[in-house]
């Protein structure tokens, strides 16, 4: 099944639903960063959460999730755009923890003390960050807590990553349900029943149940219509020019020192692991651009 995301709205305009399948893009992100099982589960949940939130934005807009906790994974970044691109990375891809009840300890990997920062890019001149303390460090619940605290929008978020014995991703995806005031108790109760009646999300996704069908099951008793459908893919917007900007941040003296110490300098994108090579001459040219 092709990775995709779908959004619906209740006919009364007071409830939104978003669901996505992110299996292939999560696999791609995990492959690029050579992650272990714990990092795969945490990064996959974060990538899925970013895709869900980005679907609530507008064309050309994007957002960045930054989970920073005191667990061994240290930091997880996930960025997604309304247009369907998603990318991310985890600071410690090979961190490990003992299983809890046979399950990966994602909360322990993230850490029970830390913050979630959500940065929304509306335009080049409109960038809005918001930060909250981590609530459970399970990723999905923290995103829902952010929406409730920072945007005063009650939400239910479910994200899942299921791994095969060889560490590859068998299924990944999630859903997000939002209620806008004033919410109707009858419809709210119906949606809660729809969510509680769902089989495990990983089972649905592994069984090729499409995001639209997942939303149809949740909204079964609530009249609704589809308003958004896009394919998703792991995609990075790095370039040689953007890496020049990263090198310029080193300052003139450090760039000149690098140029004298080596013939070439390798810069690697933290999101996609793409390598960019700069010659000593290029480093000196960049240094000369700094006053």
Q: What's the pLDDT tens digit per position in 218-228?
A: 999 899 999 99
- CB count in 10 Å sphere of residue 288: 11
Q: Could you identify the residue written with the tokens 């029970």?
A: 112
Closest C-alpha among 75, 90, 95 to residue 26:
90
Interval 149-154 mean pLDDT: 89
27 — pLDDT class (breaks 50, 70, 90): very high
Burial class from Cβ neighbours inside 10 Å (0-12, 13-18, 19+) for residue 97 reads middle
50 — pLDDT class (breaks 50, 70, 90): very high
pLDDT (tens digit, 9 = 90+) per residue, 59-117? 999 999 999 999 999 999 999 999 999 999 999 999 999 999 999 999 999 999 999 99
The residues, any chain, with a CB within 8 Å of residue 266's CB and separated by 6 or more, are 275, 276, 277, 278
| pTM (two decimals) | 0.91
Q: Write down the pLDDT at residue 190.
A: 87
H or E element in which residue 56 lies: none
Q: Write down the pLDDT at residue 183.
A: 64
184 — pLDDT class (breaks 50, 70, 90): low
Q: Report all structural domains of the chain as residue ranges with CATH numbers, in order of start.
A: 4-234 (3.55.30.10), 240-288 (3.90.1280.10)
Burial class from Cβ neighbours inside 10 Å (0-12, 13-18, 19+) for residue 124 reads exposed
Highest mean pLDDT pick, 140-144, 184-188, 235-239: 140-144
SS (H, E, C) 222-249: CCEEEEEEEECEECCCCCHHHHHHHHHC
């Amino acid at each position: 099944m092709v990775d995709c995301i779908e959004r619906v709205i209740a006919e009364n305009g007071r409830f939104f639903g978003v669901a996505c399948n992110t299996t292939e893009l999560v696999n791609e992100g995990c492959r690029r960063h050579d992650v272990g099982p714990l990092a795969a589960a945490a990064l996959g949940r974060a990538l899925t959460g970013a895709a869900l939130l980005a679907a609530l934005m507008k064309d050309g807009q994007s957002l960045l999730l930054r989970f920073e906790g005191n667990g061994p994974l240290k930091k997880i970044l996930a960025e997604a755009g309304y247009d369907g691109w998603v990318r991310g990375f985890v600071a410690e891809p090979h961190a490990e923890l003992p299983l809890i009840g046979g399950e990966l300890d994602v909360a322990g990997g993230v850490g029970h003390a830390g913050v979630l920062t959500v940065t929304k890019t509306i335009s080049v001149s409109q960038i809005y960050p918001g930060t909250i303390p981590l609530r459970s460090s399970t990723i999905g619940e923290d995103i829902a807590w952010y929406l409730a605290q920072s945007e005063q929008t009650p939400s239910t978020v479910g994200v899942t990553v299921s791994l095969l014995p060889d560490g590859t991703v068998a299924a990944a995806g999630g859903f997000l349900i939002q209620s806008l005031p004033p919410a109707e108790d009858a419809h709210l109760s119906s949606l809660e029943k729809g969510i509680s009646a769902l089989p495990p999300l990983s089972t649905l996704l592994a069984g090729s149940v499409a995001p639209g069908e997942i939303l149809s099951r949740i909204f079964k008793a609530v009249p609704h219509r589809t308003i958004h459908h896009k394919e998703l893919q792991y995609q990075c917007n790095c370039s040689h020019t953007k890496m020049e900007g990263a090198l310029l941040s080193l300052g003139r003296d450090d760039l000149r020192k690098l140029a004298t110490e080596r013939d070439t300098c390798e810069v690697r994108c933290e999101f996609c692991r793409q390598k960019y090579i700069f010659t000593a001459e290029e480093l000196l040219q960049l240094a000369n651009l700094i006053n």
